[in-house]
Amino acid sequence: MPEDPVNHIDFEDLGKKAISAPLVSHLYTADPSAHVFNGRLYIYPSHDIDAGDAFDDLGSHFAMEDYHVLSLQSPADTKAADHGVALHVKDIPWAEKQLWAPDAAEKDGQYFLYFPAKDYQGIFRIGVAVSHRPEGPFTPRPGAMANSFSIDPAVFKDDDGQYYMYFGGIWGGQLQRWRNGQFNAGQPESPFAFLPEKNEPALCPKVARLSDNMLEFDETPRDLLILDENGNPLLQGDTERRFFEASWMHKYQGTYYFSWSTGDTHYLCYATGNNPYGPFTYQGRILDPVVGWTTHHSICEWEGQWYLFYHDASLSKGVTHLRCVKMAPLTHDENGRIQLIQPYHKL
């Protein structure tokens, strides 16, 4: 397992070493989901706060309470506009805490904010809120999406107008607790309970087509299978490649690219397939480890250039749960392979 790169960075020189600067610095943000709406780029991040919660493998210290929407008018912008609070946990009837990584989509002039939160039974569900403006504010639905579970919703619009949600995350994201089709709390609660053995296939992210009204699943969520170069499912012990969290889907020259975070090994990886459901074949890494424990991203084309949106903990000088969102150009080569991005220069 690679060491946390925070151990190797002199924070006095970090501004020189980083390939990109924080898009906002007046608040801590993470998990950026980027979309172009009406020519402007909007970023839907989580909003990090220091709530004093204990650091643990369940992510209790990630105690976010609201969402802010950021935007850029031009790719030349170095600072994003902050449109203020778009949704707060106190306004969501079913949600108790932990507004983790969100995403957004647009259909017929309406904007939909998808978000995970823990309900009052301590179970992560996925909710949806609606607005007539991409920056919100968003009005939440009274209940979570039926049959939703786990974290990190990412919504992809295909060329035929169909929308799909990809989601799931292990450890604190609770995906492993749904292996038998219902939530298994376990005694005592542990992020490692119910995980496959190292020589067993890794848990898969989930995918489901959305209903026409964008408010529900139109089908039962299914596994999105990620295969190795020999056509076999990635194994749980293959921690530098297996899925952990942070699903994202984009399409380039007719090929579907599914990307994710390996979590405890700190990589962003990707696999390719020929349809939204897969299977997908592992291709390589997108981003090497950043300062801070987590890696979570999105990929978006804007004015003819592809960009990676990601975060690190450089703004807080390495505090794991106080992060900042960034962007960097992303390149597909002539064979469609994504070129590896190094988040820091070697000085």
Euclidean distance between CA atoms 284 and 9, whole angstroms = 25
Q: What is the pLDDT of residue 347?
A: 52
- Selected catalytic residue, list 48, 238, 245, 312: 245
Question: Can you tell me the distance from the alpha carbon of 262 to that of 287, in angstroms, rounded to the nearest whole number?
Answer: 11
Alpha-carbon span 321 to 318, nearest angstrom? 9
Alpha-carbon torsion angle 23, 28, 32, 37, nearest 10: -60
Q: What is the pLDDT of residue 6?
A: 46
Annotation marks residue 245 as catalytic: yes
Question: What is the pLDDT, as a whole number, of residue 9?
Answer: 60
**pLDDT tens-digit profile of 71-85?**
999 999 999 999 999
72: β partners? 41
pLDDT for position 8: 54
CATH says 5-330 is which class? mainly beta
Tokens 């309406």 identify what position? 110
Backbone torsions φ then ψ of 250, nearest 5 degrees: -140, 165
Task: Give the residue extent of every domain in the chain.
Answer: 5-330
By the 10 Å C-beta count (0-12 exposed, 13-18 middle, 19+ buried), 66 is classed as middle
| Catalytic residue flag (residue 96) | no
Q: Smallest Cα–Cα separation from 74: which of 302, 317, 311, 321? A: 302
pLDDT of residue 215: 98
- The per-residue pLDDT for range 167-187, each reduced to its tens digit, is 999 999 999 999 988 999 877
Model pLDDT, residue 11: 66
pLDDT at residue number 301: 98
Q: What is the pLDDT of residue 3?
A: 43
Give the residue carrying structure tokens 């309900």: 119
Low-confidence ranges of the chain (pLDDT < 70): 1-12, 347
pLDDT value at residue 21: 95
pLDDT at 2: 43
Cβ atoms of 247 and 167 closer than 8 Å: yes
Predicted confidence (pLDDT) per residue in 273-331, tens digit: 999 999 999 999 999 999 998 999 999 999 999 999 999 999 999 899 999 999 999 99
